[in-house]
Amino acid sequence: MTTTMMRATCAATLTASFLALSPEARAGDGRLAIRVGRIITNAGPDIENGTIVIEGGRITSVGADAKGSWDAEVIDRPELVAFPGWVEAHSTRGMDRPNENIEVAPFLDVRDSIDPISFYFEDCLRQGVLAINVQQGSLCAVGAQGRVVKPFGLTIEDMTLRPSSGLKIAAARPGRSRALQAQSVRRAFRDLRQHLEKLVQDKKDGKDTARREALFQGRDLDKEENKKGRAMEGSAPWKVANLETIPRGEIDEKQEPLLRLVEGKMMAFVACDGAVAVTQALEISRENGFLANTVLVLDGDAWKAADRIAEAGVPVVLGPQLLYVERDPLTGKEIETFVPGVFREKKVRFALQSLNPTAQSLWFQAATCVGYGIPRDEAIAAATKVPAEILRLGDRLGSLEKGKDGNVLLLNGDPLAVTTSVQYVVLDGNLVYDRSKDVRVQQILEGVEQPNASPADADDPADIDPHSGEKKSKSDKKKD
């Protein structure tokens, strides 16, 4: 194969890969006017026959009389419903692997594990889940730093909404006793304290071990934030005195994320598989001063600790199984408990979590809540506004209001109806999904076969001119 042919083949392959990733993407400048028959703002009454105006990727106005600039692109679909995107408060999907084999790993970042072309993100976009908090699994005692991402983009930077969204901590772990797991988590914070105390003592003794180690690791100690020290902040019952004498760049990068957590500069997503684990999680959070930044990710019978959770005032992310079933030990009768109802009664803020984007997705979870008696606006909020607030993105996501990100779903019906589907997705004021151009939907759900060239139609290498790389004419073939 000639160089020209190889270049043409590579270019075609790259183009095909890009189109396969985002066939419906359209370049834009974040300016758009969306006119629809109904706008569910999630911040007040619905607006009939309204317009959403987006400038520079942000919503500038929403209303029946809203008008965009004269040269803005317009989507005029009066038969559709506009709705803010769903927000996934916790997910362990979209990575090459969700767990690590080391016990304490706060220095890791899921940025290095997220796969932008994972089918998971494609499914999220198709289902209208427009923000996902990707967190490591629960097989570490203290895991990696998570990241809130959009389900669209060719790079992690394109996708990122909020880096370092929180550390993953597991109050319980499969195959390990609760006592041993609690000891592992507590030891991680004890090691942090000892490391900081040693740095202060070494500085007092005139040793520069920490500085030499930092330089050896390649850390830039000339950065303004690295060359200065500051007193230990936060509300931890334990404090390391004279920490201001230590330049922050000299703190071991394996310990620094834990220090940020203790100082209240990072969140903790603590996985609890039962009520006993909840108790341990709250104790550890109080002991190290990050209770105010704790979110409990619940599963199993953790709902039985709802009173303690309400007393602590921390929000929770509920597991995908909203109905907990157990047997009465005496009668053998099945007892069903609707978990969101328990937390609503206790006035605990809760966010819903999907099983996956296509089965028990967030719209399904919200619809299930309505079916069990939770008011519709609260059920929708549990999959939009509440998770956005938990992730500290409430000023950007969760509703269609002036100043929020220009993220809009255009649906062909009510967002909680089983017959409704996402027709268009707008992210940051740019159209990134069009169901009519979704090849997978057309083939799998609608049975539309795509016209593909048969192997017999493929070009024979002998029919390609080696000099130009172009297909030979009939006359050239005869000469050959």
Q: What percent of the chain has pLDDT over 70?
A: 87
d(CA 70, CA 87): 32
Which residue would you say has higher pLDDT here, 312 or 445?
312
Q: Is the pLDDT of residue 187 over 50?
A: yes
Check residue 174 and give its pLDDT.
80
d(CA 416, CA 478): 65
d(CA 469, CA 8): 8
User: What does the pLDDT average to over 212-223?
Assistant: 82
Neighbouring C-beta atoms of residue 116, cutoff 10 Å? 17
Q: Is the pLDDT of residue 371 over 70?
A: yes
Tokens representing 105? Answer: 């790993």
Q: Is the pLDDT of residue 19 over 50?
A: no
Pairing label, strands 73-83, 86-91:
unpaired
Check residue 193 and give its pLDDT.
96
Check residue 27 and give its pLDDT.
47
Domain extent listing, the chain: 1-84+400-480, 87-175+265-398, 179-252
Check residue 362 and give its pLDDT.
97
Which residue would you say has higher pLDDT here, 144 or 9?
144
The band of 69, judged by pLDDT with boundaries at 50, 70 and 90, is: confident
Average model confidence (pLDDT) across the chain = 88
Q: Is the pLDDT of residue 11 over 90?
A: no
The band of 20, judged by pLDDT with boundaries at 50, 70 and 90, is: very low
In degrees, to the nearest 5, what angle opens at C-alpha 385 toward C-alphas 383 and 386?
A: 75
The band of 25, judged by pLDDT with boundaries at 50, 70 and 90, is: very low
CATH superfamily of 1-84+400-480: Urease, subunit C, domain 1 (2.30.40.10)
User: What does the pLDDT average to over 407-434?
Assistant: 96
User: What does the pLDDT average to over 375-387?
Assistant: 98
The band of 460, judged by pLDDT with boundaries at 50, 70 and 90, is: low
Lowest mean pLDDT, pick from 2-11, 26-35, 83-92, 454-463: 2-11
Pairing label, strands 58-63, 47-55:
antiparallel
pLDDT digits (tens, 9 = 90+) for 268-284: 999 999 999 999 999 99
Tokens representing 334? Answer: 């099945």
Give the C-alpha distances (Å, rounded to integers) separating 230 from 248, 309, 375: 8, 33, 48
Name which of 266, 271, 317 is nearest 292 in CA terms. Answer: 266
Which residue would you say has higher pLDDT here, 307 or 449?
307
Q: Is the pLDDT of residue 5 over 50?
A: no
Please, what CATH class does the domain formed by 87-175+265-398 belong to?
alpha beta
Check residue 328 and give its pLDDT.
86
This prediction has a pTM of 0.86
Check residue 23 and give its pLDDT.
38
Token pair 């084999």: residue? 101
Which residue would you say has higher pLDDT here, 63 or 441?
63
User: What does the pLDDT average to over 288-315?
Assistant: 97
The band of 466, judged by pLDDT with boundaries at 50, 70 and 90, is: low
Q: Is the pLDDT of residue 12 over 70?
A: no
Lowest mean pLDDT, pick from 2-11, 173-182, 194-203, 440-449: 2-11
Check residue 475 and give its pLDDT.
57
Tokens representing 14? Answer: 């790259």
Q: Is the pLDDT of residue 148 over 80?
A: yes
